[in-house]
């Protein structure tokens, strides 16, 4: 009986760590962001039942959970989406003003790794617009910037 309980607990813990959907509570108490951690798709979910697409599916055939992760910025409307396998980055913005203000923009389109393991994380810098992208397996780092001013102000640079 004890072995059966142990196996059951291991199975439950694996299911918890292989979560396909993750909800992120925003600073606006009426909105959450729902991330599909396998495909990168993001929805804005409002407490009145409305949903809006923030980011379309990136990897429709990926079957590994926890590939994508959202990071909050100090701007309450802006999150950074990280492909933890490849190092690709997107600036994602939700809004209470309607779907015309909800969008996402690519920050880094280049694959920095081709292995299928979670290795990339980000860390904020002093400027609210700049972060480090870090490969936790080999220590490589890139500095990147997001913006509300247009594509010319989004960039990434190896350190």
- Alpha carbons 128 and 4: distance in angstroms, whole number: 50
DSSP 73: -
Low-confidence ranges of the chain (pLDDT < 50): 14, 16
Q: What is 20-158's CATH superfamily?
A: YVTN repeat-like/Quinoprotein amine dehydrogenase (2.130.10.10)
What is each CA distance from 20 to 66, 70, 78, in whole angstroms? 7, 13, 22
pTM of the model: 0.88
Which pLDDT score is estimated for 1?
Answer: 65
DSSP 56: -
Both tokens assigned to 117? 């393991």
* Domain boundary assignment for the chain: 20-158
């Amino acid at each position: 009986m004890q072995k059966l309980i142990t196996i059951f607990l291991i199975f439950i813990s694996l299911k918890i760590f292989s979560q396909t959907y993750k909800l992120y509570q925003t600073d606006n108490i009426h909105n959450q962001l729902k991330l599909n951690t396998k495909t990168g798709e993001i929805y804005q979910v409002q407490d009145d039942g409305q949903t809006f697409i923030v980011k379309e599916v990136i990897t429709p055939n990926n079957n590994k959970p926890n590939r994508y992760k959202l990071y909050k910025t100090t701007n309450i409307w802006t999150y950074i989406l990280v492909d933890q396998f490849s190092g690709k980055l997107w600036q994602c913005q939700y809004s209470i003003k309607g779907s015309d203000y909800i969008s996402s923009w690519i920050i880094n389109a280049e694959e920095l790794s081709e292995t299928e393991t979670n290795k990339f994380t980000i860390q904020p810098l002093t400027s609210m617009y700049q972060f480090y992208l870090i490969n936790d397996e080999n220590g490589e780092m890139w500095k990147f910037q997001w913006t509300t001013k247009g594509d010319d102000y989004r960039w990434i640079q190896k350190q």
